[in-house]
Structure 1
Amino acid sequence: MNALDRPPPPLDVAALDARLQQAAPLEIIAAGIAAFPGRIAAVSSFGTESAVLLHMIAQVDRATPVLFLDTGHLFEETLAYRDTLAARLGLTQVQTFSPDPAALAARDAESGLWAEDPDACCALRKVEPLARALGPYGAWINGRKRYQAATRTAIAVAEQDGDRVKFNPLAAMGREQLLAYMDTHDLPRHPLEKHGFASIGCMPCTTRVKPGEDPRAGRWRGKAKTECGIHFGDGI
């Protein structure tokens, strides 16, 4: 085997994270794309803050694959916003993934799993489809921020996620910075934001947020659950 045939050395993710700690989000996105040419995708919920990350990705490389999970329980406004934002930003590789029909028929034929076992519902409708969607990729970009919830205050800029590397370019951005960015670039807002929805997931498990509440307080309200599961566990 000659030098050109040898696989690249393993990426030192801790060193990469340390190097990018003070980097601007655009630099973090560019570094991720450079480190994984043709093997990196973004994952977006097309929620209330998604426009910021997607606008930045479009500036670096608008052909970057953007993976979107249509759980079958989403608001119609979210689906419309996906199409509006993708067209506005010129994103050319927005790919929609849905739960496996056979798995749905076997495990949630009545579509009531969200009420009986929300963790199992998220696994079926989000975690498993995303694992399938990420199959070809060695890394992914997502839009989590440290300010959003107590479970996110220590997220890294770059972190190991199972066999993949996960980039969190917006980790250090606060709510006011995000709003200012959207205003500066005249980015369209999610239609439900004006109705009090600060963090938008599936329709049955999303409620309006009251002034002063945690932005994710409207997700799985009244339950101990705070995350859908795609950012925890053994990695996907």
Structure 2
Amino acid sequence: MFLLGENTEPDGAANAPSKDLEALRARVATLNARYRHHGATAVLEGALNDPEAGRIAMVSSFGAESGALLHLVAMVDRKVPVLFIDTRLLFAETLAYQQEVAERLRLENVQVLRTDEETLQKRDPYGALRMGDTDACCALRKTLPLEQALAGYDGWITGRKRYQSGTRAALEFFELEASTGRIKVNPLAHWGPEDVRAYMDENRLPRHPLVAQGYPSIGCAPCTSKVAPGEDPRSGRWRGQQKEECGIHFVNGRAVRQSA
């Protein structure tokens, strides 16, 4: 377990020279050209072994669809660092599922990230920050520990898919995160929900228990609600707010927002 505080500065690229970002942009373009017509497994293997990608970790929420990508990663290399952010506000079912999947897939390097107690007491002493400012709460409990944990990596693997929202509709396998100077890898970018279901069925992977209870997208317990039939799968996240990302994914250096 890693307890991370605000005094540890992430090694981002906010002040990186433009020529460094241009070089990184060129690497991303090379990777996309090289793997554009490949499947998820080949993209994963490329991310983990291609010198253009650098040192890569996986970030997983152990959520509704996480089992598929975690299984693919385990098939390629069980020693890949898997970073799991425990915000201390997760469903108990998510914590149990994380343990179950990690053991089932024999993942050898799962790292649980948490913001340290001192920082939480300073910035959210009553645990009520989420009620007045969900962005600040996500930044404190998710973005801060993740940025610090990723400081030693050149990029990270995500489970994002094009179908999930309009902000993800143009996802490529490899993308530049200019705000941090890292590469993001999206091996399942082209998968639809039916592909995930079929893969999990074929490989007999355990489902997150909350999916059967009406939660197709799962985040922190206070900010996740059930989704009615016909609703967008992510409509239960931060319901009623113009927000569809927790802040760990950025476009042009800013957390993605849903258009009004």
TM-score tier (shorter): over 0.9
Residues in 1 aligned to 2:231 and 2:32: alpha-carbon distance in whole angstroms:
31
Residues in 1 aligned to 2:245 and 2:182: alpha-carbon distance in whole angstroms:
20
Q: CA deviation at 1:18?
A: 2.5
Residues in 2 aligned to 1:214 and 1:126: alpha-carbon distance in whole angstroms:
24
Counterpart in the other structure of 2:208: 190
Residues in 2 aligned to 1:150 and 1:219: alpha-carbon distance in whole angstroms:
15
Aligned 8 A contact 1:29 1:57 in 2: yes
Counterpart in the other structure of 1:228: 246
Aligned 8 A contact 1:149 1:215 in 2: no
**Distance verdict in 2 for CA 1:225–1:125, change over 3 Å:** same
Matched, 1:57 2:84: no
**1:19 aligns with one of 34, 46, 57:** 34
**2:103 aligns with one of 77, 87, 91:** 87
* Gaps in structure 2 of 5+ consecutive residues: 1-22, 255-260
Alignment of 1:153-172 (within 5 A): 153-161=169-177, 162-172=180-190
* Gaps in structure 1 of 5+ consecutive residues: 1-8
Q: Which letter maps to 2:71?
A: H
**2:134 aligns with one of 110, 115, 118:** 118
Residues in 1 aligned to 2:81 and 2:232: alpha-carbon distance in whole angstroms:
31
Q: CA deviation at 1:163?
A: 1.5
2:115 is paired with a residue whose SS is coil
Q: Which letter maps to 2:184?
A: K
Q: What TM-score does the superposition give when structure 1 sets the normalisation length? A: 0.92
Matched, 1:72 2:77: no
User: RMSD between aligned alpha carbons?
Assistant: 1.7
Residues in 2 aligned to 1:175 and 1:106: alpha-carbon distance in whole angstroms:
40
1:135 is paired with a residue whose SS is helix
Residues in 1 aligned to 2:204 and 2:118: alpha-carbon distance in whole angstroms:
42
Matched, 1:33 2:51: no
Q: CA deviation at 1:149?
A: 1.0
Q: CA deviation at 1:15?
A: 2.1
Identity across the alignment (%):
52
Runs of 4+ in structure 1 deviating by more than 3 angstroms, as ranges, are none
Q: CA deviation at 1:133?
A: 1.1
Q: Which letter maps to 1:104?
A: L
Matched, 1:205 2:205: no
2:112 is paired with a residue whose SS is strand
Matched, 1:108 2:121: no
1:160 is paired with a residue whose SS is strand
Aligned 8 A contact 2:54 2:155 in 1: no
Deviations, residues 125-178 of structure 1 (Å, cap 9, x unaligned): 000010011111111101000001111111111011131111000000000011
Matched, 1:48 2:81: no
Q: CA deviation at 1:208?
A: 0.7
Residues in 1 aligned to 2:204 and 2:141: alpha-carbon distance in whole angstroms:
33
Deviations, residues 50-83 of structure 1 (Å, cap 9, x unaligned): 0000000001001000000000100010000000
Counterpart in the other structure of 1:144: 160
**2:114 aligns with one of 82, 94, 98:** 98
Q: What TM-score does the superposition give when structure 2 sets the normalisation length? A: 0.84
Alignment of 1:126-137 (within 5 A): 126-137=142-153
